[in-house]
Amino acid sequence: MTTFPIDLKAYKPLTLDASNPTLTPEQRETLKSNIQLCRDAIVFFTATGAARGVGGHTGGPYDTVPEVMILDALFRGSADKYVPIFFDEAGHRVATQYLMSTLEGSLPAEQLMSYRAANSTLPGHPELGLTPGVKFSSGRLGHMWPYVNGVALANPGKTAFCLGSDGSQQEGNDAEAARLAVAQQINVKLLIDDNDITIAGSPSDYLPGFSVKKTLEGHGLKVLEGDGEDIDGLYARICEAINTPGPVAVINKRAMCVGIDGLEGSNHGHDVISVDAALKYLEARGHSDAVSNLKSVVKPSQDYTFLGASEKYDSNRNVFGDAVVEVLSGMSEADRKAKVLVVDSDLEGSCGLHKIRAANPEIFISGGIQERGNLSAAAGFGMAAGKQGIFATFSAFLEMCISEITMARLNKSNLLCHFSHAGIDDMADNTCHFGINNMFADNGLDDGYETRLYFPADANQMKACVKSVFDNSGLRFIFSTRSKVPLLTDANGGELYAGNYTFTPGKDEVVREGTAGYIVSFGEALYRSLDAVERLKKEGIDVGLINKSTLNVVDEDMMKKIGAAPFVVVVESFNRRTGLGSRFGSWLLERGLSPKFAYLGTHEEGCGGLWEQFPHQGIDPVGIMKTVKSLAS
């Protein structure tokens, strides 16, 4: 690795004492210098993620540098008075944790230039035990405040801090945390970055009436609101919070990415800064070495050629939206408004719902970052016969909605859910964002209201699946990946699911016949399994492949067919403990079928990066072929 091109040794360790809420001129200048240095560093090393194609987030960590610098100085001044951890409930602000780990000497500065890269131990959310210097795992948005309440209770006499945001404060977890903190007078201080920006836009627009300040005051917290860029005012408010017993929220108003041309005040600043914007910023700041370094970053590419797949890739998570729009186009506007409601949870652009909003805004609601309530609202709309709610978010968040899914089932709702980012492919955010426990959605009883889980393999099958199940009653969950997937081909090289193909719920499909045994797979693991099948056939092992795109229904005819084969291997990116493989063997035994059996799935914490997650878990073609050969021998 080359030398980190911004001199972090210019950071000037500062000590502050909260008993004195006024900064001296020297302290103020030191803080300003440290803030600018750290903001420059964050722009640079997060931009290496953009250049490498692994993405990331720049705006959040960039914005909150002033309060982090003040906390660092307070921790240095009186470590025994605080829990000296920069807890942050907006986990995508991980750049803060990595930079502070470097400044304290736990992480080499040069490693920052491998931000979010595979096997760099710098994933998109902080993970305790993985990255040197990182002191907590943040999990998903809005999960830390309840946890920090407990940390504060475990450290009586000390002050604990939790960095928050106007986005994370929309989550129901924080409402519960607020009530407990007030009731027990927990000595936790919230430092909330309130920039009126989330992924989908401005909360003031899509959640009119919502106010972080009024909400927290309603829970009983003392709230200190002010300009987050006013260093003297920010420091004074933090000192007042520290000197006030019990929970206090310091709300810091600022524009997102203040001072970054082209990003200031824009929701585009939420994600990683573009290389061009970063170069412009760094050039203006005089960081010529950082500019040269950023220009030299080479984006890695996967040069593996998958057999059985065309060269055309498409994004199933967006195809879902296109397919729904196509179905809706066959309805009158009056029927759409009367029969369909689409509820977004701030991720419309990531789940394909933006396609529906653009075409049919009359049935679309921006529900904010509150997945449980939004799913329930969509389910409630679909309670009456002939009506249907549509809901979408990331698959990792499905675990947050299990109780609401049960309520939707008990109330006989008609609910079509799209959970994107399923599995692990292209998941630089890493373990906390793996969508691997999706089978939890099928948590009803055997005689319960119908629930179906579908995971189409490519864009053609996604379109066919949506069209087939759109008007069905019951709970329907359609999964897709963050990554684009190739169109699958048949044995003659034509598109497997094109033409007159019709998706039949509950029916498994033969992708390739075989005599030696069968692989059973679905989703983005299917094209990798198909590649393994084609290569094994060339080596003389005539293995077949089954696409089990309906995950939770036993196709009795197909079960008899593959159960009579010498072996069966289930290949998936779901959790090996909770996925399809964990139940498929039981299905075989219940029917008196006993082929050799194995199941491959996600079983280790992630390695960061994109496609690299698959070989890391041993579910790439190489790993699949190894398992098949062991069973065929």
CB burial of 593-632 (b: ≥16 within 10 Å; e: otherwise) equals bebebbbbbbeeebbbbbbbbbbbbbbbbebbbebbeebb
Residue 569, classed as helix, strand or coil, is strand
* pLDDT value of position 289: 97
* pLDDT value of position 448: 87
Question: What sign has the CA pseudo-torsion 595, 596, 602, 603?
Answer: positive
Q: Are residues 250 and 322 in the same domain?
A: no
Question: What sign has the CA pseudo-torsion 480, 482, 488, 494?
Answer: positive
pLDDT band at 489 (very low <50, low <70, confident <90, very high): very high
For residues 463-481, average pLDDT: 98
* Tens of pLDDT, residues 18-55: 999 999 999 999 999 999 999 999 999 999 999 999 99
- Overall domain count for the chain: 2
Helices (H), 448-501: 459-469
Q: Is residue 492 part of a domain?
A: yes
CATH number of the domain within which 48 lies: 3.40.50.970
Ramachandran quadrant class, 21 (left: phi over 0; alpha: psi -120 to 50; beta: rest): alpha
Q: Are residues 572 and 508 in the same domain?
A: yes
CB burial of 505-540 (b: ≥16 within 10 Å; e: otherwise) equals eeebbebbebebbbbbbbbbbbbbbbbbbbbbbeee
Q: Are 433 and 400 in contact (CB under 8 A)?
A: no
Given 296, 327, 353, the domain boundary residue is 296
* pLDDT value of position 273: 98
Q: Are residues 210 and 333 in the same domain?
A: no
* pLDDT value of position 462: 98
* Tens of pLDDT, residues 576-588: 999 999 999 999 9
Distance CA 617, CA 573 (A): 9
Q: If you ran DSSP here, which 8-state letter would residue 395 be given?
A: G
Task: Please determine, for residue 565, whether its predicted confidence score (pLDDT) is greater than 70.
Answer: yes
Strands 485-488 and 309-314: antiparallel
* pLDDT value of position 557: 98
Distance CA 350, CA 328 (A): 20
Task: Please determine, for residue 73, whether its predicted confidence score (pLDDT) is greater than 80.
Answer: yes
For residues 621-625, average pLDDT: 98
For residues 430-439, average pLDDT: 98
Q: Is residue 3 part of a domain?
A: no
Q: Are residues 525 and 584 in the same domain?
A: yes
Q: Around Cβ 291, how many Cβ atoms within 10 Å?
A: 19
* Tens of pLDDT, residues 582-618: 999 999 999 999 999 999 999 999 999 999 999 999 9
* pLDDT value of position 447: 87
Given 296, 318, 352, the domain boundary residue is 296
Q: Are 346 and 335 in contact (CB under 8 A)?
A: no
Q: Is residue 19 part of a domain?
A: no
First to last CA, the chain: 44
Distance (Å) of CA 403 to CA 106, 373, 375, 631: 41, 11, 11, 40
Q: Of all helices (H) and strands (E), which one includes residue 487?
A: strand 485-488
* Tens of pLDDT, residues 309-320: 999 999 999 999
Q: Is residue 478 part of a domain?
A: yes
Inter-axis angle of helices 621-632 and 524-538, nearest 10: 50
* Tens of pLDDT, residues 360-418: 999 999 999 999 999 999 999 999 999 999 999 999 999 999 999 999 999 999 999 99
- For residue 548, give both structure tokens: 């089990």
Task: Please determine, for residue 1, whether its predicted confidence score (pLDDT) is greater than 70.
Answer: no
Q: Are 60 and 90 in contact (CB under 8 A)?
A: yes
Distance CA 168, CA 215 (A): 13
Strands 451-454 and 475-479: parallel
Q: Are residues 175 and 276 in the same domain?
A: yes
Q: Are residues 428 and 470 in the same domain?
A: yes
Q: Are residues 192 and 335 in the same domain?
A: no
- Determine the structural domain holding residue 403 and report its residue range: 310-632
pLDDT band at 2 (very low <50, low <70, confident <90, very high): confident
For residues 97-125, average pLDDT: 97
Distance CA 40, CA 44 (A): 6
* Tens of pLDDT, residues 209-226: 999 999 999 999 999 999
Distance (Å) of CA 599 to CA 204, 377, 619: 48, 37, 10
- For residue 239, give both structure tokens: 């000192």
pLDDT band at 96 (very low <50, low <70, confident <90, very high): very high
Q: Are residues 322 and 248 in the same domain?
A: no
* pLDDT value of position 620: 98
Q: Burial level of 280, CB count in 10 A (0-12/13-18/19+)?
A: middle
Residue 521, classed as helix, strand or coil, is strand
Distance CA 243, CA 523 (A): 54
* pLDDT value of position 306: 98
Helix, strand, coil percentages in the chain from 3-state DSSP, rounded to 5: 45, 15, 40
* Tens of pLDDT, residues 133-192: 999 999 999 999 999 999 999 999 999 999 999 999 999 999 999 999 999 999 999 999
Distance CA 436, CA 434 (A): 6
| Residue of 303, 319, 603, 624 whose CA lies nearest to 485 | 319
Distance CA 278, CA 273 (A): 6
* pLDDT value of position 379: 98
Q: Around Cβ 583, how many Cβ atoms within 10 Å?
A: 17
Q: Are residues 260 and 334 in the same domain?
A: no
Q: Are residues 368 and 455 in the same domain?
A: yes
Q: Are residues 338 and 277 in the same domain?
A: no
Q: Is residue 305 part of a domain?
A: no
For residues 104-121, average pLDDT: 97
pTM score of the predicted model: 0.97
For residues 86-90, average pLDDT: 97
| Residue of 534, 627, 72, 618 whose CA lies nearest to 309 | 534
* pLDDT value of position 335: 97
Distance CA 221, CA 240 (A): 14
Q: Is residue 470 part of a domain?
A: yes
For residues 563-572, average pLDDT: 98
Given 296, 324, 343, the domain boundary residue is 296
Task: Please determine, for residue 441, whether its predicted confidence score (pLDDT) is greater than 70.
Answer: yes
Q: Are residues 320 and 272 in the same domain?
A: no
Q: Is residue 502 part of a domain?
A: yes
Helices (H), 92-230: 94-103, 144-153, 172-183, 203-206, 212-219
Q: Is residue 17 part of a domain?
A: no
